[in-house]
Amino acid sequence: MTDSLFITCSQCGAKNRLPASKLSDAPNCGKCKQSIFSHSVIELDDSNFQRFIQNNDMPIVVDFWASWCGPCQHFAPVFQQTSTLFLDKVRFVKVNTEQAQQTAAMYGIRSIPSLLVFKNGKELTRQAGAMDQSNFTRWLSQF
């Protein structure tokens, strides 16, 4: 089945099944009726991270960050801006490693920021350190 995808709503976390052709039409959630992609960047923690990455058929890029990390602060607007370019292609997730310590430990996050790409719950690749927007966009385009 390549023509329908499971996508988790960015508002209520409900799992939606969507035809791939609908992704670019700003689809609404079957449960809360809001736009599924209303938040281009979603913040997750230990309680909902696993569920989110398992219940999305789109690639997901995760920014593991921390409030004390200078490069993370600089990278945050790049991450936000880039997310709007990939709205129906890649989900953008931020994980605060000070709060989501279990998740950070599970993936062995040692340097901050770390960017991980997941597909169907599996890690595809990771990149330690921030990127500028053009490098980040190029890096993501391969997914």
- How far is it, in rounded angstroms, from Cα 66 to Cα 87? 24
Do residues 71 and 113 touch, judged by C-beta distance below 8 A? yes
* Identity of the residue, 12 or 105, whose beta carbon is nearer to Zn ion in the bound complex: 12
- CA–CA distance, 66 with 27 (Å, rounded to integer): 32
Give yes or no: 69 in active site.
Answer: yes
Would you call 83 helix, strand, or coil by DSSP? helix
* Interface residues toward Zn ion, by CB under 5 A: 9, 11-12, 14, 29, 31-32
Q: Is residue 29 flagged as an active site residue?
A: no
Residue 44: CB minimum distance to Zn ion, A: 15
Q: What is the smallest separation between the CB atom of 89 and Zn ion, expressed in angstroms?
A: 20
Q: Which of 12, 29, 32, 69 is catalytic?
A: 69
Nearer to Zn ion, 6 or 107 (CB): 6
User: Which is it for the CA torsion 124, 121, 82, 19, positive or negative?
Assistant: positive
CB of 25 to Zn ion, least distance (A): 16
Provide the annotated active-site residues. 69, 72
